[in-house]
Structure 1
Amino acid sequence: MSGSHPLVVFDSVQKTYDGHSLVVRDLNLTIEKGEFLSLLGPSGSGKTTTLMMLAGFETPTAGRILLGGTDITRTPPHKRNFGMVFQNYALFPHMTVAQNIAYPLTVRRLPPAQQAERVQRALDMVQMGRMADRYPGQLSGGQQQRVALARALVFDPQLVLMDEPLGALDKQLREHMQIELKALHRQLGITFVYVTHDQSEALTMSDRVAVFNGGVIQQIDRVDRLYEAPVNRFVAGFVGDNTTLDGTVERAEGEQCVVRLDSGESLRGVNINGAEAGARVQCSVRPERVHVLAPNDTCADNIIRAELVDIIYFGDHLRLRCRVPGQPELCVKLPLREQGGLCLGQLLRLRVPPEYLRVYR
């Protein structure tokens, strides 16, 4: 990726359907050539509308969209040279796999010999080389998804847009396809823009993720930064599992602050929004960052006392549901190797490392 030559730029883009409420608000977004960017957010957050404006199926109410420095805001979809993959695949049921994949080439009037060569290459790319003569009705959901992807890639687009393409697949196949899509992206080097409401899917595949809410990008960042350093309460709660604790700032100390929880304990954490003494705040920590201390551990800083109310087995870890007076339920992810000696009703001493406790106004 090259930050000096972006492929796509959204410049102060807005979109409204009724002339009053903005579905997308003042969107400024840069998409780098060759990256895998996911647009993540709940229903109605503006992510799909953003994708549709990039595809040309929707027109911005204000602002402009640039492709390689050229304004394409009013350019129709068929002139944008973008591949598209939808959740419902949109395959022609009366055409074979090969004919479906060849369709974009037929529209572009490529000679039959070139069409056959490109179709075979696209089929091999998605590991469907032996199924060229089958019809969509003879394929599984995962196979149909591969055909739709091959059709989007067959004409060598400079950008591939995907709108929840794995949403109709079962969990195991969806996770398998996530890995395959990421590998294919790495192999081809084409820019992928991917819409999803599934945060684990976005984290698994993307180079960067833009988190939408209320028509605004709340945070756009590398996946590790997005998970470890969310910039506000919404991102912290929407991306990954999150444990929250409510309290009041006792004192601010540079980039950190000390918070008195409603349950009485004092915890030190990272002061994300510059909360001052007396401010009501929400503390946020990832469940895997909370440590269950052994009975003989004398550590005394950043400790919470909690009652263990449930133990849930997740295969690769245990999830402990804990009760802290005056707080939302507290969750701890515990590696299986540390599971010994736990019983319901037990009073646990939990340590939250200050560097992983993020404090939001």
Structure 2
Amino acid sequence: MTTSNALVTFTGVQKTYDGHTLVVRDLNLEIQKGEFLSLLGPSGSGKTTTLMMLAGFESPTSGEISLNGVPITRTPPHKRNFGMVFQNYALFPHMTVADNIAYPLTVRKLGKADVEAKVKRALDMVQMGHMGSRFPGQLSGGQQQRVALARALVFDPQLVLMDEPLGALDKQLREHMQLELKALHRRLGVTFVYVTHDQSEALTMSDRVAVFSEGVIQQIDQVDRLYETPSNRFVASFVGDNSVLDAQVVQTTGEHCEVALADGTRLTGVNVNQAQAGETVQCSVRPERITVVNGSGPTGNRLGAAIGDVIYFGDHLRLRCQVSGQPEISVKVPLQHLGHMDPGQAVHLHIPPEHLRIYR
């Protein structure tokens, strides 16, 4: 049963190309009307295959995809009326910008006056109103991407699908386009489904993010919850920076547990996957949640460390710290520590229990 606000529903969808390996396994996913949903994951995790099944370029091996409660699994791509934007833009080089954008409308046999009005609106939407007579070869990568986006939006689709559309752009332009896309989405209220392997891109733009690994959604959540409360080790390590400590559970109390590090240090944290006493676990904390404390700071959840390196990041410092018997951990500290932190220096680190997440 779909919820009233779901535009697209995947029910038990599986995909295999060779009859053995499932690229997507038992996918149950609801895409809400008007949301910006990113499918995030490493190469081979199933995110692009999921998008291609939604677009109609791939067929599920089993399961059903519905649009507004109506099955579309066997509907060909051109009848789904979705806008598509690819990484390589896929513009026709022999056509002007305006003709490229008009193409979906001419295929739909709209009248000339209608086409001109819609093309003008689409060009204005992506702030390229003055460039309709140019050819793709005369445009920068960012401008070509805007044209591809205008072409995907020109026929008022209810859903726009994007596959790594900013991947070919340089960092500064990519970050600028991320903000433009987010603003455009807010303005239009169209449903966007966006595939990326870039976690900061997904966090910057999306309302919700679905994190894929090995054909399965590991977690789907709002961006702040995804970052602050990852549901397993994979999500914690894949989304954002992470400092990890190896430990053993000593005792559990409700949602929390106490763990012991190799050197005997005791820490308390959130027991995410109900680890039991005696189990070996990973303790995970965001580098910006760790504070360097002096003797008068909080007494609990402290551990001794030695600074291995101090890296200047412009807006903060990154300390690479050695803790006895542990992998190197990263600590983000404000710039006022500049000049007071040196390699080799012994420090005490405090980790708030609510930000230390313990995974089995």
- Report the TM range for the smaller structure's normalisation: over 0.9
What amino acid maps onto 1:156 in structure 2?
D
Per mean C-alpha deviation after superposition, the further-off stretch among 260-269 and 332-341 is 332-341
Alignment of 1:140-219 (within 5 A): 140-219=140-219
| Offset of residue 117 of structure 1 | 0.4
What amino acid maps onto 1:329 in structure 2?
E
Residues in 2 aligned to 1:163 and 1:49: alpha-carbon distance in whole angstroms: 10
Identity across the alignment (%): 73
Residues in 1 aligned to 2:195 and 2:298: alpha-carbon distance in whole angstroms: 45
The equivalent of 1:225 in structure 2 is 225
Q: Would you say how many aligned residue pairs link Structure 1 and Structure 2?
A: 359
Residues in 1 aligned to 2:356 and 2:151: alpha-carbon distance in whole angstroms: 46
SS in 2 for 1:227: helix
Confirm whether residue 27 of structure 1 aligns to residue 27 of structure 2. yes
Residues in 2 aligned to 1:72 and 1:142: alpha-carbon distance in whole angstroms: 33
Residues in 1 aligned to 2:64 and 2:336: alpha-carbon distance in whole angstroms: 54
Distance 1:298-1:192 versus aligned 2 partners, 3 A rule: closer
Moved over 6 A (4+): none
The equivalent of 2:274 in structure 1 is 274
The equivalent of 2:304 in structure 1 is 305
| Offset of residue 326 of structure 1 | 1.1
Verify the 8 A CA contact 1:263 1:324 in the aligned structure 2: no
| Offset of residue 264 of structure 1 | 2.2
Verify the 8 A CA contact 1:244 1:283 in the aligned structure 2: yes
| Offset of residue 3 of structure 1 | 5.5
Residues in 2 aligned to 1:3 and 1:199: alpha-carbon distance in whole angstroms: 28
What amino acid maps onto 1:249 in structure 2?
V
Q: Deviations over 1:282-303 (max 9, x none)?
A: 0000000000113x42432101
SS in 2 for 1:7: strand
| Offset of residue 50 of structure 1 | 0.1
Confirm whether residue 134 of structure 1 aligns to residue 139 of structure 2. no
Q: Deviations over 1:255-285 (max 9, x none)?
A: 1000001232110000011111100000000
The equivalent of 1:288 in structure 2 is 288
What amino acid maps onto 2:109 in structure 1?
R
What amino acid maps onto 1:344 in structure 2?
P
SS in 1 for 2:166: coil
Residues in 1 aligned to 2:297 and 2:47: alpha-carbon distance in whole angstroms: 48
Q: Deviations over 1:227-256 (max 9, x none)?
A: 000000000000000010001001111110
Q: Deviations over 1:284-333 (max 9, x none)?
A: 00000000113x42432101111101111111111100011211111001
| Offset of residue 343 of structure 1 | 1.1
The equivalent of 2:51 in structure 1 is 51
What amino acid maps onto 2:57 in structure 1?
F
Q: Deviations over 1:104-162 (max 9, x none)?
A: 00100100110000000000000000100100000000000000000000000000000
Residues in 2 aligned to 1:286 and 1:80: alpha-carbon distance in whole angstroms: 42
The equivalent of 2:65 in structure 1 is 65
| Offset of residue 336 of structure 1 | 1.2
The equivalent of 1:336 in structure 2 is 335
Q: Deviations over 1:206-235 (max 9, x none)?
A: 000000000000000000000000000000
Distance 1:165-1:298 versus aligned 2 partners, 3 A rule: closer
What amino acid maps onto 2:77 in structure 1?
P
Verify the 8 A CA contact 1:39 1:212 in the aligned structure 2: yes
| Offset of residue 196 of structure 1 | 0.1
The equivalent of 2:345 in structure 1 is 346
SS in 1 for 2:201: helix
The equivalent of 1:104 in structure 2 is 104
What amino acid maps onto 1:311 in structure 2?
V
Residues in 1 aligned to 2:262 and 2:46: alpha-carbon distance in whole angstroms: 36
Structure 2: give runs of 5+ residues left out of the alignment.
none
Residues in 1 aligned to 2:297 and 2:202: alpha-carbon distance in whole angstroms: 40
The equivalent of 1:314 in structure 2 is 313
Residues in 1 aligned to 2:296 and 2:97: alpha-carbon distance in whole angstroms: 63
Per mean C-alpha deviation after superposition, the further-off stretch among 150-159 and 326-335 is 326-335
Residues in 2 aligned to 1:263 and 1:45: alpha-carbon distance in whole angstroms: 37
SS in 2 for 1:142: helix
TM-score by length of 1: 0.98
What amino acid maps onto 1:251 in structure 2?
Q
| Offset of residue 337 of structure 1 | 2.7
Distance 1:298-1:173 versus aligned 2 partners, 3 A rule: closer
The equivalent of 2:354 in structure 1 is 355
